[in-house]
Structure 1
């Protein structure tokens, strides 16, 4: 039986331990002095502590998140993100399915119930009435759409939607999303067509962990998701490693305490304050925002963009997966105001607020999506009421509509008939630009009985001069769209003005492709090194008309760009570069970027546009068999896809197959008889075949269908002159100049034709 040591024994052991320790210290000191300290023996496998490395993050679902983040989940519940998509049942369907009918373009659709199922009887892909069960609801307010399942895993969104607004606001009714378009079953916008396909057009932004899973060989989908709505991980990314960190499970130490196991941190507002500059009175963020993480996470869905790669929500930059739209006509007015449905991001990045460091969640609760403060209060979080929320600033009675900050600086436009979206460019109203350029302005949006000049004069009477604001690119973009003589100089100046929004500068770079010369190339070459990937992309698109050697010289560095989308599009611009002429490192760079480009397009193999892009890419690489296959696949997917006909006909021209080209253009005209592009292309083909009389007819039709296209007017006039109809050619030119103003090419042609008479 063991016994406790006596007091003397304890003291004896103490002195032994102390003496032993002193000897060890002395030994180590001597060893260090003489450099003879032996290496420590390696730990045996049994002694070593295993280092556990967390795996790739996976999705865990909001139920798991709610265990710690109950407040955020409660705020999110019932939000537009929560209700983005739901199974159709009595608790989710808002529309009237009690034998309600709706008539559109000669078709009467009926909404009814069959047991527990919600049904619609409407025109199918062949134009005949058919009965379809509604599988899911889509959205909740101010309108709700309905999804119908088709063979091949497709979900299609009905064009007839339910107006969820109150009766007193005009709601509680069925309505058509294209009320004035007379859509028929063979129209590209018909609800059974590709442009109303949920898998490609909608799913990514209405679900969580969406995998489209398109099978090009069978033209079918096997689309999956982890949650049917926009849940926690749609924004925060897959959270499995966050759980490891939170629970201190094996490997948690390797998860940086800053990231806490999350794929990206949405913490840019942490510790930030807004203070007022003593000299300007303007709010200034402290510290300055140096990253765009939150904005780019939101922009993945809240932007007009193309998705080139799968977005696994693991914190990559926006342009690693997406290509934001530039200031395209139809989407944006020349001054950058919204025209089409552009979903906020492209507008917001034009604003002074964006440049000052404002983020989405400065104004919006990111979980409920509501404003942080109602009314003008959301603006007064940063802007002083004494300076802005009074009549000396807005010149309207306090409390009236004209005194609302958003009505002047964020004018709204209705989309999908009943859904008002506000312009997030936070611009100063410019009725003076409305007078000069025809752009809209907030003043006459309300005072719609007054002309723009009245509003412009009113602002001068208030402020002494027309207020300018940050966005000063309207003249340059308008000049490019109008083909004005000095457009080149305005675009080059805009491109080099670093303080202007990147989306405008990128647009300027792209538009310079129509004015390539030594001066514009100098501006473009600088833009290829711009800090904004969007500007670099715009500059790449300007290079396409250049000779191969110069194009290679300028675009080669972009094959190693840090942003994947930029690398891929650089490879597209260099598709025709002969590999044999390259060094090993150049060949590797081009091959890697080309693989990324091919991945980006094959990721969208369910769209005719991607197949046209692939066809053009392989045509440039002199692989005609593959190229033709992709062009034909584009037409198989959508027989109304105009670019497929134009590009395939041009491909046949390059292959000396003009007869095939003529056949494909006529096939296109059978589907799209009012296409100016197809008529113009057929006219040029007939000119090459020396069938001038037929060519003039086609070119005349193109000029008639596109009266504002200066190029089509020019070619038509040349054809008339060649056919001996010079007087009529001069008439065409004069009428075009009267419509379009100064177009140098048309004026020069007129002088030449007059001289030839």
Structure 2
């Protein structure tokens, strides 16, 4: 059962572990000695991260309110002091008239700019309701209920539906909203026994286990341990200071090198990452508990700006601020988490007002949009319908990149009636042009945007130590785009890098090493100091199941097996060592757990193909498409399956669907073109290719395919067009 916390009044209103006597890991023991800090913390988002659904905590209107989103309806009301949400659907063919269900709201989740609500759905699972409360002021459009996906209908057969795993609190959200949380997911029962120390984010999440410190203070003995991870700046004065001479534009750090490792505690939650363990421990390094997402599509734009909900880690780690030694607490108060100064004054702590806070630099009237540093250098992206979050890469607006790639720019985010050429002209008029990026950075942006670069150009990006480690690691992740195999001696330098992110990315892409030497070269990383690197090496090597690294890999997959990805990864582990039946079992379980996760169907069908069970493979693809009709991977897989069955005309239809659904997937485009040619539709293939090149980058493989087809057809105008494209590459 969920071990929840009860409300205890102790100097401040703190929600602590349910117990007659305060446990060593509760916040209560901190309050007596640290009342000012506790008072500041009480103002923070951390303190309001999660709470029991009481009148003091629930912000939403439950006074018999009705709301409708497409065919989904909700009725919010109270009964006997408790809060309820009744969810129902119109009787449409899509929804099949699902009956109304009433759920008691157990917890509030967050507080501003929105508050979500959690309900129990069995087996220890808490799910996030599909409607949230907009807690912004009414003048800003708030004080209303709204659907989490405002602009689209989320049907019960959608993976984003609120009853599906991706809306599960235990797995998706819980560890970052409560102290000391453990999911306790049961693989066999497919259930949770989630527990926590404190219901919200308190002292424990940042300072670690304080029991020894608390006991030492109580007995007036010397504390045997520090308050937190690695004697960090959160608990001592830095032996240095930011200084700026009058004539200097930007301050620099003077003194001993800063120890900013404490930020790893922040990154544990303020990052897009995959968990390797159950729960978070402040004493452990970030990469010993998580494997982070690198700065590539689909989560980021080609220039590294945030696109999807990626939080802060990836952005900040690529920034000049991070490289200069800036840390979170230079801008944010350590307990309220609020900014230390208002407006441009925050930036002017280090940046010269005489240079940066002037009309000559801002080019926007004071007090208007565009006059704040953050408007241009930390543009906002809205998530969850109402939550505006700033990009922490502290980038410079580059409209020319917007012309070349899908990356937005700060100018046109505001001036939406203008184009990027106008914005570029403005910057040229004001500053003489945009500040140019280094060639290696431009090459990486081109690669991310789908443009072809040479293998040598790619390795130069990775070897460029002037670029942030996370950017270089992101380039390593993209090596398969330019390399079939990697040079062994060069790759060894990556595997032995002092930068953990470089080792991690290299371990993940280690299959690029030749088969006969891969194990020898990668094996040392099975004993890397950091768990993320060990796990990546174990996955790449399909290492001995008795090894610690392999056991860590298995555990990381098991703790995520409440969703399809975890079961799929367990299946891939079994496949790597020839355990076909165990892999099949995991994939069938994955489909049962997460039926709208298409990779499970694709991999299960592949097992059936490899074992000669053709009929089962066909049925698996059909079942997958029944649940996931817009899956490009399933259409592509079924197309290949039909080609193997020599049903070429039927295959063409599914390959066309795949190419249409995933237009930037070059492989899908290529195979569809070949299918058209095979079916005697070479002219159609050339027509398709010309339409395709009018909207998407002209990939060399597709150009060469088109040239071959044009020669075959004697289509001279098309041949000339394609040759010109080839010559511009």
Asked whether the two chains share a fold, i.e. TM above 0.5, the reply is yes
The residue that corresponds to 2:18 in the other structure is none
Give the direction of change, closer, same or farther, for the CA distance of 1:410–1:314 in structure 2 (3 Å limit).
closer
Partners of 1:536 and 1:156 in 2: how far apart?
37
Give the direction of change, closer, same or farther, for the CA distance of 1:281–1:239 in structure 2 (3 Å limit).
same
The residue that corresponds to 1:99 in the other structure is 64
Which secondary structure state, in structure 2, belongs to the residue aligned with residue 367 of structure 1? coil
What is the CA-CA distance between 1:205 and the residue it aligns to? 0.4
The residue that corresponds to 2:395 in the other structure is 427
Give the direction of change, closer, same or farther, for the CA distance of 1:95–1:296 in structure 2 (3 Å limit).
same
* C-alpha distance after superposition, 1:165-192 (max 9, x if no partner): 1111111111111111101122111111
Structure 1's unaligned 5+ residue stretches are: 1-57, 580-586
Partners of 1:490 and 1:262 in 2: how far apart?
40
Q: How does 1:534-573 map to 2 (within 5 A)?
A: 534-573=501-540
* C-alpha distance after superposition, 1:110-147 (max 9, x if no partner): 11111211111113898331111111101111111111
Which secondary structure state, in structure 2, belongs to the residue aligned with residue 739 of structure 1? coil
What is the CA-CA distance between 1:733 and the residue it aligns to? 2.8
The residue that corresponds to 1:459 in the other structure is 427
* C-alpha distance after superposition, 1:20-77 (max 9, x if no partner): xxxxxxxxxxxxxxxxxxxxxxxxxxxxxxxxxxxxxx95211110111111000011
Q: How does 1:164-203 map to 2 (within 5 A)?
A: 164-203=135-174
What is the CA-CA distance between 1:159 and the residue it aligns to? 1.6
Give the direction of change, closer, same or farther, for the CA distance of 1:262–1:518 in structure 2 (3 Å limit).
closer
The residue that corresponds to 2:10 in the other structure is none
* C-alpha distance after superposition, 1:312-365 (max 9, x if no partner): 425221110111111232321111111111111111111111111111111001
The residue that corresponds to 1:528 in the other structure is 495
Bigger Cα displacement from structure 2, 599-608 vs 169-178: 599-608
Which secondary structure state, in structure 2, belongs to the residue aligned with residue 110 of structure 1? strand
What is the CA-CA distance between 1:554 and the residue it aligns to? 3.3
1:730 aligns to 2:701 (yes or no): no
Q: How does 1:275-354 map to 2 (within 5 A)?
A: 275-276=243-244, 281-287=249-255, 289-354=257-322
Partners of 1:506 and 1:475 in 2: how far apart?
15
* C-alpha distance after superposition, 1:384-423 (max 9, x if no partner): 2112111122222233332211111111111111110011
Cα RMSD, aligned residues only: 2.3
Partners of 1:268 and 1:562 in 2: how far apart?
27
* C-alpha distance after superposition, 1:279-338 (max 9, x if no partner): 854211123545332211000001111111134425221110111111232321111111
Give the direction of change, closer, same or farther, for the CA distance of 1:188–1:518 in structure 2 (3 Å limit).
closer
Partners of 1:655 and 1:260 in 2: how far apart?
57
Q: Is the 8 A contact 1:152 1:221 kept in 2?
A: yes
The residue that corresponds to 1:77 in the other structure is 42
Give the direction of change, closer, same or farther, for the CA distance of 1:406–1:652 in structure 2 (3 Å limit).
same
The residue that corresponds to 2:670 in the other structure is 714
The residue that corresponds to 2:477 in the other structure is 510
The residue that corresponds to 1:114 in the other structure is 79
Partners of 2:206 and 2:449 in 1: how far apart?
37
Partners of 1:697 and 1:231 in 2: how far apart?
56
Which secondary structure state, in structure 1, belongs to the residue aligned with residue 510 of structure 2? coil
What is the CA-CA distance between 1:631 and the residue it aligns to? 1.2
Partners of 1:741 and 1:214 in 2: how far apart?
45
Which secondary structure state, in structure 1, belongs to the residue aligned with residue 435 of structure 2? coil
The residue that corresponds to 2:634 in the other structure is 678
Give the direction of change, closer, same or farther, for the CA distance of 1:189–1:182 in structure 2 (3 Å limit).
same
The residue that corresponds to 1:9 in the other structure is none
What is the CA-CA distance between 1:244 and the residue it aligns to? 3.4
Which secondary structure state, in structure 1, belongs to the residue aligned with residue 629 of structure 2? coil
- Number of residue equivalences: 684
Q: Is the 8 A contact 2:446 2:452 kept in 1?
A: no
Matching residue within 343, 356, 361 for 1:388: 356
What is the CA-CA distance between 1:193 and the residue it aligns to? 1.1
Partners of 2:503 and 2:369 in 1: how far apart?
42
The residue that corresponds to 1:488 in the other structure is 455
Partners of 1:316 and 1:473 in 2: how far apart?
32
Q: Is the 8 A contact 2:238 2:258 kept in 1?
A: no
Q: Is the 8 A contact 2:208 2:227 kept in 1?
A: no
Partners of 1:63 and 1:722 in 2: how far apart?
73
Give the direction of change, closer, same or farther, for the CA distance of 1:422–1:269 in structure 2 (3 Å limit).
farther
Partners of 2:317 and 2:343 in 1: how far apart?
22
Which secondary structure state, in structure 1, belongs to the residue aligned with residue 695 of structure 2? helix
The residue that corresponds to 2:412 in the other structure is 444
Bigger Cα displacement from structure 2, 517-526 vs 561-570: 517-526
Partners of 1:278 and 1:491 in 2: how far apart?
42
What is the CA-CA distance between 1:602 and the residue it aligns to? 1.4
The residue that corresponds to 1:66 in the other structure is 31
The residue that corresponds to 1:639 in the other structure is 595
Q: Which has the greater radius of gyration? A: 1
The residue that corresponds to 1:355 in the other structure is 323
What is the CA-CA distance between 1:262 and the residue it aligns to? 6.6
* C-alpha distance after superposition, 1:436-481 (max 9, x if no partner): 2231111122222221111112212222231247897354233244
1:134 aligns to 2:101 (yes or no): no
Structure 2's unaligned 5+ residue stretches are: 1-22, 90-94, 714-729
1:209 aligns to 2:180 (yes or no): yes
Bigger Cα displacement from structure 2, 664-673 vs 281-290: 281-290
Give the direction of change, closer, same or farther, for the CA distance of 1:498–1:378 in structure 2 (3 Å limit).
same
Partners of 2:389 and 2:438 in 1: how far apart?
22
What is the CA-CA distance between 1:703 and the residue it aligns to? 1.7
1:702 aligns to 2:638 (yes or no): no
Q: Is the 8 A contact 1:387 1:393 kept in 2?
A: yes
Give the direction of change, closer, same or farther, for the CA distance of 1:107–1:261 in structure 2 (3 Å limit).
closer
Which gives a bigger RCO, structure 1 or 2 (Cα 8 Å, sep 6+)? 2
Which secondary structure state, in structure 1, belongs to the residue aligned with residue 127 of structure 2? strand
The residue that corresponds to 1:147 in the other structure is 118
Partners of 2:523 and 2:399 in 1: how far apart?
44
Q: Is the 8 A contact 1:264 1:314 kept in 2?
A: no
Bigger Cα displacement from structure 2, 603-612 vs 218-227: 603-612
Give the direction of change, closer, same or farther, for the CA distance of 1:472–1:378 in structure 2 (3 Å limit).
farther
Give the direction of change, closer, same or farther, for the CA distance of 1:346–1:277 in structure 2 (3 Å limit).
farther
Q: How does 1:152-167 map to 2 (within 5 A)?
A: 152-167=123-138
What is the CA-CA distance between 1:522 and the residue it aligns to? 5.9
TM-score (norm 1): 0.86
Q: Is the 8 A contact 1:683 1:696 kept in 2?
A: yes
Q: Is the 8 A contact 1:288 1:357 kept in 2?
A: no
Bigger Cα displacement from structure 2, 319-328 vs 275-284: 275-284
Partners of 1:313 and 1:263 in 2: how far apart?
13
